[in-house]
Amino acid sequence: MAFTYGRAPRIWGIVRPVSTPSLPAAAFRLLFEAAPDPYLVLAPDLTIVAVSDAYLRATMTQRERIVGRALFEVFPDNPADPAAEGVRNLKASLEQVLNHHVPDAMPVQKYDIRRPQSAGGGFEERFWSPVNTPVFDESGALIYIVHRVEDVTAMHFVTDRLDKLFAGHAPALSLLRNAGMDLVDRQGWVKSVLAGRAMR
């Protein structure tokens, strides 16, 4: 199934009337691909049909090399990690969307990605916060799934480091988390925490 820009799909219960003026297909494509967040659009058979530039940057991939291919062919589990569950968990979430026609927000997932050969090859450890959302046509048929991710790798390592630093001091750790990790980032503590130089 090809992704047709300029259509009038229903995204999680919202229908745009057919008579509503729409952007030209070329303009819509530019807007989608320039979206600030990482988006991947999947056909119901989990073939990749469209991708935003932000997603390409986050996953070190190229549009012409992934569009038209099966999702898990492009993004397999890391073969060097016997405990990898990324493919299984994402497949289960997508099946929920396909079977029940509702969005599915996944918990943070460890899902390593392949580095291009120009970056040394192999896999790079990554953690993601994914949301999968169904897209329907005017008749109510599910035609696409929008897979949105947020790369939370840096935050994962910060919180992991804090867990170790504050082992046995749960109230202090809880206060830090409730204050919001964005405060930690703004005050420039992230690098020092990762390096083990802060709050010893």
pLDDT the model gives residue 37: 95
Cα–Cα distance for residue pair 107/131, rounded to 1 Å:
9
Ranges in the chain, pLDDT < 50: 5-8, 13-18, 181-200
Residue the block writes with tokens 């932000």: 54
Q: Residue 114 is inside which H or E element, if any?
A: strand 113-114
pLDDT the model gives residue 97: 98
Contact 62, 74 (CB under 8 A): no
Look at residue 144 and give its three-state secondary structure.
Answer: strand
Residue 109, exposed/middle/buried by CB under 10 A (0-12, 13-18, 19+)? middle
pLDDT the model gives residue 197: 40
pLDDT the model gives residue 155: 80
pLDDT the model gives residue 141: 96
pLDDT the model gives residue 186: 42
Q: What are the CA-CA distances from residue 151 to residues 22, 38, 125, 138, 194 (Å)?
A: 32, 9, 11, 33, 17
pLDDT the model gives residue 7: 46
pTM across the whole model: 0.73
pLDDT the model gives residue 158: 77
Query: pLDDT per residue over 162-182, tens digit each?
Result: 666 666 666 655 665 555 544
Bridge partners of 142, per DSSP, are 136
Bridge partners of 70, per DSSP, are 47
pLDDT the model gives residue 159: 72
pLDDT the model gives residue 168: 62
Per DSSP, 183 falls in state H
Bridge partners of 11, per DSSP, are 14, 135
